[in-house]
């Protein structure tokens, strides 16, 4: 794995990557991204496109371009890329030289097959906050 044993000539940068919709950006998102960034030297965030969210039956208040811009503005984020489909994670890990894939602990076990390519870390969610809860509270 690149994160534990850099190959000769490697730039020795530990690259961390995570994925998400990041709609209605909130403290839980910021906490997850900050903790992910602390695991390496560089954080790449794949923000789900509007088209991909539609295939998941999920809508977002903000379009992809605005969600990507908000995430990119966070100082812990080094790069934002679009997430077009579930299957792109393995391709991204190889293409971008990812050492550590980070996901929220609501995804535990779902991406373990990627351990053949990189470290996989599931971080605890921030208690009491989620985009779904915010949307529900706004309706109530």
For the annotated catalytic residues, the residue numbers are 56, 58
Question: Which two structure tokens, joined as six digits, stand for 91?
Answer: 């391709």
CA neighbor of 19 nearest in space, from 68, 75, 55: 68
Label residue 128 left, alpha or beta by phi (over 0 means left) and psi (-120 to 50 means alpha).
Answer: left
CA 9 to chain centre: 27
Distances (CA, A) of 34 to 5, 7, 40, 131: 24, 27, 11, 18
Q: What DSSP character marks residue 48?
A: E
């Amino acid at each position: 794995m690149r994160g534990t044993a850099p190959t000769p000539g490697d730039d020795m940068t530990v690259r961390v990557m995570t994925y998400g919709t990041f709609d209605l950006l909130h403290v839980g998102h910021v906490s997850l991204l900050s903790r992910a960034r602390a695991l390496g030297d560089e954080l790449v965030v794949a923000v789900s496109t509007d088209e991909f969210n539609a295939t998941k039956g999920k809508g977002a208040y903000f379009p992809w371009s605005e969600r990507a811009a908000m995430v990119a503005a966070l100082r812990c984020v080094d790069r934002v890329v679009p997430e077009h489909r579930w299957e792109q994670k393995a391709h991204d890990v190889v293409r971008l030289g990812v050492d550590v894939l980070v996901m929220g602990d609501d995804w535990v076990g779902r991406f373990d097959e990627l351990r053949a390519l990189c470290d996989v870390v599931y971080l605890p969610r921030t208690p009491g906050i989620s985009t779904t809860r915010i949307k529900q509270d706004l309706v109530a």
